[in-house]
Amino acid sequence: EAQVTQNPRYLITVTGKKLTVTCSQNMNHEYMSWYRQDPGLGLRQIYYSMNVEVTDKGDVPEGYKVSRKEKRNFPLILESPSPNQTSLYFCASSLSHGFNQPQHFGDGTRLSIL
Amino acid sequence: GQNIDQPTEMTATEGAIVQINCTYQTSGFNGLFWYQQHAGEAPTFLSYNVLDGLEEKGRFSSFLSRSKGYSYLLLKELQMKDSASYLCAVRDPTNAGKSTFGDGTTLTVKP
């Protein structure tokens, strides 16, 4: 089944403790992206990757890192999480970064930073 | 930059028709997406419009007017399961890697 898989689905942790949210897609998609979603707000883009070893900042990259060493994986790293990073995170992928390419989303990761 | 506006909430009755509007201000334009997101779930793709006019997909249709910077999603024969948030989105015309989403319209369908 074609899918985008995120782990963990839920995480409660403390300020300053490094964490990684993994994202993997099995559709051979070139493009991958991370978003955060806060109550009443739409999706805000954190980072994106147009292909292996190519990453770039979205609208809200502060406090996050990403890497794209393999086509299928695009982990999101919070080196020193803070409470304002408490949010619902979505990973997405699309066949390419073409303008007409819809994104396929993972089921989301709910992070709580205490 | 890109700016997208949608109404925050709408309510409609089962079996009725509802129109969800989206206006955008962008530095260029290469198409607009609509996604559906049920509470606590992932967004799923509904439609993509790049040319003016109406595109129909079963009970859902999407309309675009590029000259007015305006799109709408039309849902017919509403069902309870259509209660969800509807997001419109555009890709940055100078950098398709960047996407901007509206804040979403939460639709509640009542019996």
Percentage of chain B with pLDDT > 70? 99
Query: Which of B35, B23, B21, B20 minimizes the C-alpha distance to B76?
Result: B20
Phi, psi of A40 (to 5 degrees): 75, 0
Q: What does the alpha-carbon distance between residue A64 and residue A20 come to, in Å, rounded to a whole number?
A: 10
Q: What does the alpha-carbon distance between residue B111 and residue B109 come to, in Å, rounded to a whole number?
A: 7
Least confidently predicted of A24-28, A78-82, B95-99: B95-99
Instruction: State the first-to-last Cα distance of chain B, in angstroms, to the nearest integer.
Output: 41
Cβ contact B100–A59 (<8 Å)? yes
Contact (Cβ atoms closer than 8 angstroms) between residue A92 and residue A32: yes
Tens digit of each residue's pLDDT (9 = 90 or more) over B53-65: 999 999 999 999 9
Q: What does the alpha-carbon distance between residue A74 and residue A69 come to, in Å, rounded to a whole number?
A: 8
Q: Which residues, including other chains, have CB under 8 Å from residue B72's CB and lie 6 or more apart?
A: B19, B20, B21, B22, B62, B63
Q: What is the mean pLDDT of the segment spanning B34-45?
A: 95
Token pair for residue B8? 């925050």
* Mutation choice for B interface testing from A41, A54, A95, A103 by most B CBs within 10 A: A103
**Residues on chain B touching A43 (C-beta within 8 angstroms):** 43, 87, 89, 99, 101
Number of Cα atoms under 13 Å in the Cβ half of residue B50: 11
Give the number of other CB atoms < 10 A from CB of residue B38.
13
For CA atoms A43, A23, A71, A80, give the dihedral sign: positive
Q: Which residues in B have their CB inside 8 Å of a CB on A?
A: 4, 8, 30-31, 33, 40-45, 48, 50, 87, 89, 91, 93, 96-104
- What DSSP string runs through B67-104? TTTEEEEEE-S--GGG-EEEEEEEEETTEEEEEEE---
Tens digit of each residue's pLDDT (9 = 90 or more) over A29-78: 999 999 999 987 889 999 999 999 999 999 999 999 999 999 999 999 99
Per-residue model confidence (pLDDT) at position B27: 79
